[in-house]
Structure 1
Amino acid sequence: MLHANANRKAVVKNTDMAEEMQQGAVDICEEAMEKYTVEKDIAAYLKKEMDKRYGPTWHCVVGRNFGSSLSRSNLISFYFTYSYVTHETHSFVYFYLGQSAVLLFKSG
């Protein structure tokens, strides 16, 4: 179980990421949620901090109304845009922090 502050519970739905990196992503996301209330600002902060900590290039989606799926070929499908992206191995996590879903992956 990943640690989060008392007000928000972190629940990982899908990942191929090491637990230490998952915890780092949750910690950065909590920092972002303390600083920002707009989802695009939270996503931008999380992306920039992951780039700094783990090297570029990270991509992030934060919101309440989207879904994702991961196939065996590491293909992610976003139902809300019908687009497809490929991610690097061991660099994908889809989790909830409180009421917000976070999709974070490295590609490029």
Structure 2
Amino acid sequence: MPVKMQIQAMASASEALDLYDVLDYKSIAAHMKKEFDKKYGGGWQCVVGFFFGCFFTHSKGSFIYFTLETLNFLIFKGDSSPSAA
């Protein structure tokens, strides 16, 4: 993911943590997905939590995984090509 989008992802996560309880993963993820859909077009997915596993296909340059405070954040844009993360 380009640096500008990475910064946006972390800013969106921080904003969501200010708005929602830290255990309200669904609302935090929905907030971030809506922000990215609005700013960068539809198709974004967001996973938030303490522990999770995943396997998916994503668009090149659209993946970030980071930790903020005590939560892990994963944001990506779906893709149908065979590159997996």
If the TM-score is normalised by the length of the shorter chain, which range does it land in? 0.7 to 0.9
Q: Could you list the per-position Cα deviations for residues 44-81 of structure 1 after superposition, in whole angstroms to 9, with x for gaps in the alignment?
A: 000000000111110000000124xxxxxxxxxx1xxx
Query: Secondary structure of the equivalent of 1:60?
Result: strand
Query: Secondary structure of the equivalent of 2:61?
Result: coil
Among candidates 64, 68, 84, match of residue 93 of structure 1: 64
d(CA) in 2 for partners of 1:93, 1:31: 17
Hey, what does 1:51 align to over in structure 2? Answer: 37
Does residue 61 of structure 1 match 2:47?
Answer: yes
Runs (4+) of structure 1 exceeding 6 A deviation are: none
Structure 1: give runs of 5+ residues left out of the alignment. 1-16, 68-77, 79-83
- Say how many residue pairs are matched: 77
Structure 2: give runs of 5+ residues left out of the alignment. 80-85
Query: Secondary structure of the equivalent of 1:85?
Result: coil
Identical columns (%)? 45
d(CA) in 2 for partners of 1:23, 1:35: 18
What's the RMSD between the two structures over aligned residues?
A: 1.0
Query: Secondary structure of the equivalent of 1:65?
Result: coil
TM-score (norm 2): 0.85
TM-score (norm 1): 0.68
